[in-house]
Structure 1
Amino acid sequence: MTLLLTILGIALFAVGLLFSIAWHELGHLSTAKLFGIRVPQYMVGFGPTLWSRRKGETEYGIKAIPMGGYIRMIGMFPPGEDGRIEARSTSPWRGMIEDARTAAYEELQPGDEKRLFYTRKPWKRVIVMFAGPFMNLILAVAIFLGISMTFGFATQTTEVAGVQKCVIEQSEDRDKCAESDPVSPARLAGLRTGDRITAFNGKPVDDWAALSDRIRDTIGPATLTVERDGETKVLHADLIQNTVAAKDSDGEVIPEKFVPAGYLGFAAKTEILPLSFVDSVDRMGDMLENGVESIIALPAKIPDLWDAAFGDGERKDDSPVGVVGAARISGEVMNLDVPTQNIVASFLMLLAGFNLSLFLFNMLPLLPLDGGHIAGALWESVRRKVARLFRRPDPGPFDVAKLMPVAYVVAGVFICFTLLVLVADIVNPVKIS
């Protein structure tokens, strides 16, 4: 049964991956056609074609390797300075440029002169190239908000899950009370498991973050209003100062950093609760911010990733994960011993995270990524406006093909990184259970 569920999870992730890629390319396709650019091909995957069908002027198909996709637009690059696309050079760098330029004019037909990508205004080209990643962002946001507002996330509440017997500094690596440890204020006050704290010092509280902050800011006498077995009771506690885990500006606990603060001594119960629209958007913003930070931190994670793949290093929880690793995680999700709705929510969140990564990764201003073409169109717009401002001749379209040598280097780096992640995902995978 475990093997069957694992295969099912991997298969579902593969379907989600293909849909995400097709959705991405649909953004490029729809906007290209909107602006009159001819698109001969719309393909999901790379390698040999498994299935294709021509509709109108575009061939739609699925290829054997589901590691990406593309649409082929006519005239991605302008012609060379001599106006000829068949010119060749003995320079390997020039050869790359001319190969890219030649590929951009494949399947050129009579009448296509006015349907070339490079002839469109820069803002239209920006829209065409941005539309693909934007579709992934839309999908990620839709899934995230849907899960957040219907199913919810694990959230600490004001209900008591347990009461500490004694006071132990959180910086100490122990959980058993010593004879010299004082009794916790919560235990002395008579707080019990199952109590729900509704007010602190007479002021109502309905979420754990607010209650935690008030407790940390209080040293000395305090009153707790609790609901117990349908009745309201007022308990009196004498909070003391203790060394506890620090919090950041977002209220998240900072591991291995401790500060002195007021201490009561109980554990908050965690429940899965849906969030409001405002809270969901705020949490989505945090997720986007974390994604950007992860992209920036990728180079710094390569040494640990190498050790995990080829040495005896530990594969960290925040280690980069590729398609194979994500598929394995999806298989693990299907085997979790939790209710079905939790499995569905976890799988959808995995798909949302994948689409968010696609958006952020493709927005990098590097060729051959979409962000590289966007940067080229923006640069063309800037230099044309500068030329008009100083009454200089129009410099013409920016030749992105001249950056193809850089694009090949970038692609080579990405391929090496992808292979490194692939090896790590196979020999030392990230696990969630």
Structure 2
Amino acid sequence: MTILLFLLGVLFVAVGIAVSIALHEVGHLLPAKLFKVRVTQYMVGFGKTLFSRRRGETEYGVKAVPLGGYVSMIGMYPPAKDGHDGAGIRRSSTGMFQQLANDARQAEAERLQPGDETRMFYRLPVHKRVIIMLGGPFVNLIIGTVLIGIVLVGFGTAQATTTISTVNKCVVPAAQAAETGQTDCLPSDPEAPATAAGIRPGDTVTAFDGKPVTDWSQLTAWIREAAGEKTPITLLRDGKEIRTSITPILTERPVYDDAGQPVLDGQGEPMTEQAGFVGMGAATALVPRPATEVLPAVGENLQAITGVVLHLPQRLADVAQAAFSDAPRDPNGPMSVVGVGRIAGEISSMHEIPFEARAATLIGLVGSVNLALFVFNLIPLLPLDGGHVAGALWEAVRRGIAKLFRRPDPGPVDIAKLLPLTYVVAVVLMGMGALLIYADIVKPVNIFG
């Protein structure tokens, strides 16, 4: 059963990513057709075509390697000017880089049909080209936002409730536990106040010191302030109200910030303080969040992804070091689809986690992948969408400057000249993918501790 659940988790994310890629390409396809550009192919994947069907002037299909997709439009490369390229070199030049541009333009010319003169991509106004190229990433942004919204509003986030999940038998000071790694009670350890008060897992705290309890963090704050004071506490057990008293013991406890995360000192060690402690833990439950929290959550996710992309060379160096040494993987670093699939399988097969929480995590994982696709495709390098957008915007700047100074129109930007750089970027992307896949196999990211 565990293996089946693992495979189902992997399949869920694999299908989710494949559908996301397909919809990304739809984001290019629809505005291209809206602006009358002739689209010859809409393909999901690369390599050998598994199946395809022609509808009108466009061939729709799926290829063997489902690691991307593309929409093929007529007129991506403008012709050279008057037998020369933009640098004044004749088309007959035998330079390697110039020949790459010439071959691309020749292949583009061979696809032209009568009537295509007004249907070529490069002839569109700049704003329409930008809309077409941003259509794909924008679809990923919408998908990611919707999925994260489903998780937050439909399922909710795991939050502590006022129901008790664990009750400690004894009290072990935080520094002592950190220093010795002690997990079991010693005869010298004092009995936990919660155990002494007769509190059991499954009890729900309804009042503390006569004050109604509706929030676990609020209860924790009251307990920390009540060290040494015998305090009445009211519980609900199997539908019956139970009144008892509890005396929090003064001991060394970790310091937490407003987000519930441990506060670290200058050496990166958790800070502690003397505070009241009773030795009981809260059960967690998914609590739906208001719709107003969706966009801020998406913004935080995008900020984290952008940070990874901006420091990608260093992140990849760290991945390589971890893959070929004993260094651990950074759980916040980049992963391949293999790593994402493995995590999805592990989450799906965790029987101790409620089904709703597992489903929410898998949906959120696909949402995060879409946000990563959005950010990554905006990198202003060909063959990524951001590279085409950058070329179109540069064309607008050149033409604007020429118009301002009453110079001749410089014409469209010839991105065919950038093909050598495009090939270099493509090779780098393939190498990055290979490194991440290898690392995800030999040194997978461990996000569960």
CA contact (8 A) 1:190 1:235 kept: no
CA contact (8 A) 1:205 1:211 kept: yes
Aligned to 2:361: 346
Aligned to 1:125: 129
CA contact (8 A) 1:243 1:261 kept: yes
Aligned to 1:422: 437
CA contact (8 A) 1:215 1:262 kept: no
The verdict on how the C-alpha distance between 1:217 and 1:260 changes in structure 2, with shifts beyond 3 A counting, is farther
Alignment partner of 1:259 is 2:271: yes
Aligned to 1:368: 383
The verdict on how the C-alpha distance between 1:324 and 1:260 changes in structure 2, with shifts beyond 3 A counting, is closer
The verdict on how the C-alpha distance between 1:378 and 1:162 changes in structure 2, with shifts beyond 3 A counting, is same
Structure 2 Cα separation of the partners of residues 339 and 219 of structure 1: 35
- RMSD of the alignment, in Å? 3.6
1:130-169 correspondence to structure 2 within 5 Å: 130-162=134-166, 165-166=170-171, 168-169=173-174
Structure 1 Cα separation of the partners of residues 399 and 359 of structure 2: 51
Structure 1 Cα separation of the partners of residues 56 and 301 of structure 2: 41
SS in 1 for 2:158: strand
1:271-286 correspondence to structure 2 within 5 Å: 271-286=285-300
CA contact (8 A) 1:241 1:260 kept: no
Aligned to 1:325: 339
Structure 2 Cα separation of the partners of residues 23 and 180 of structure 1: 63
Aligned to 1:303: 317
CA contact (8 A) 1:184 1:264 kept: no
CA contact (8 A) 2:159 2:284 kept: yes
Aligned to 1:228: 236
CA contact (8 A) 2:33 2:39 kept: yes
The verdict on how the C-alpha distance between 1:74 and 1:120 changes in structure 2, with shifts beyond 3 A counting, is same
Please identify, of 149-158 and 411-420, the stretch whose mean Cα deviation from structure 2 is larger.
149-158
1:72 offset after TM fit, Å?
0.5
* Selected match of 2:100 from 88, 96, 99: 96
Alignment partner of 1:244 is 2:258: no
Give the letter aligned to residue 258 of structure 1. P
1:24 offset after TM fit, Å?
0.6
Aligned to 1:398: 413
Aligned to 2:67: 67
Superposed CA offset, 1:293-339 (max 9, x none)? 23234322323422443344444433432122333334434433255
Aligned to 2:111: 107
Superposed CA offset, 1:335-357 (max 9, x none)? 33255444433332332222222
1:69 offset after TM fit, Å?
0.4
Give the letter aligned to residue 314 of structure 2. A
CA contact (8 A) 2:161 2:285 kept: yes
Structure 2 Cα separation of the partners of residues 42 and 273 of structure 1: 41
Structure 2 Cα separation of the partners of residues 425 and 288 of structure 1: 23
Aligned length: 432
Alignment partner of 1:268 is 2:278: no
CA contact (8 A) 1:195 1:226 kept: no
Give the letter aligned to residue 254 of structure 2. V
1:224 offset after TM fit, Å?
7.9
1:168-207 correspondence to structure 2 within 5 Å: 168-169=173-174, 172=179, 173-175=181-183, 193-194=201-202, 196=204, 206-207=214-215
CA contact (8 A) 1:200 1:224 kept: yes
Instruction: Could you tell me which runs of 5 or more consecutive residues in structure 2 were left unpaired when the two chains were aligned.
Output: none
Instruction: Could you tell me which runs of 5 or more consecutive residues in structure 1 were left unpaired when the two chains were aligned.
Output: none
Superposed CA offset, 1:192-242 (max 9, x none)? 655555678888764445666777799897978754345486968678584
Aligned to 1:356: 371
TM-score (ref. length: structure 2): 0.81
SS in 1 for 2:174: coil
Residue identity (%): 45
Aligned to 2:304: 290
CA contact (8 A) 1:46 1:64 kept: yes
Structure 2 Cα separation of the partners of residues 217 and 384 of structure 1: 69
1:262 offset after TM fit, Å?
6.2
